[in-house]
């Protein structure tokens, strides 16, 4: 394939979009846009999903650097690594 983008950007962009592309993960990004940081418990309780499920999806987002984690005692607090990731969700609220 030949494009003015380098192939590396296209692959990173693909992986980031796939990381975001899941109903639970979009909902998490929305929650993290409204709250500076949230623990796994707060997320799984508010969304009413299993703890293991929340943790699983958070890991996928963390692996692609969409979110960052900081430990504080027993809790892991997750935050958006950039508000830009919410912009992606926001754009879709306009077009869909």
Partner DNA sequence: TTTAGATATATATATACTTTTATATGGTAA
Partner DNA sequence: TTACCATATAAAAGTATATATATATCTAAA
Binding site for DNA (CB under 7 A): 18, 21-22, 24, 39-41, 50-53, 55-56, 58-60, 69, 71, 73-76
Given a contact cutoff of 8 angstroms between Cβ atoms, the answer to whether 51 and 39 are in contact is no
Distance CA(41)–CA(95), nearest Å, equals 32
Question: What is the Cβ-side half-sphere exposure of residue 72, based on CA atoms within 13 angstroms?
Answer: 8
Beta bridge partners of 59: none
Q: What string marks each residue from 43 to 82 as x (binds a second copy by CB under 8 A) or -? A: ---xxxx-------------------------------xx
Interface residues with a second copy (CB under 8 A) are 1-5, 7, 9-14, 16-18, 20-24, 26-27, 30-31, 46-49, 81-82, 84-85, 87-89, 91-96
């Amino acid at each position: 394939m030949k494009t003015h983008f380098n192939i590396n950007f296209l692959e990173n962009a693909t992986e980031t979009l796939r990381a975001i592309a899941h109903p639970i993960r979009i909902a998490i990004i929305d929650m993290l846009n409204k709250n500076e940081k949230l623990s796994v418990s707060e997320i799984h309780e508010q969304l009413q999903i299993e703890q293991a499920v929340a943790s699983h999806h958070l890991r996928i987002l963390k692996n692609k650097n969409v979110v960052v984690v900081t430990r504080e005692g027993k809790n892991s607090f997750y935050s958006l690594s950039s508000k830009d990731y919410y912009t992606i969700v926001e754009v879709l609220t306009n077009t869909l």
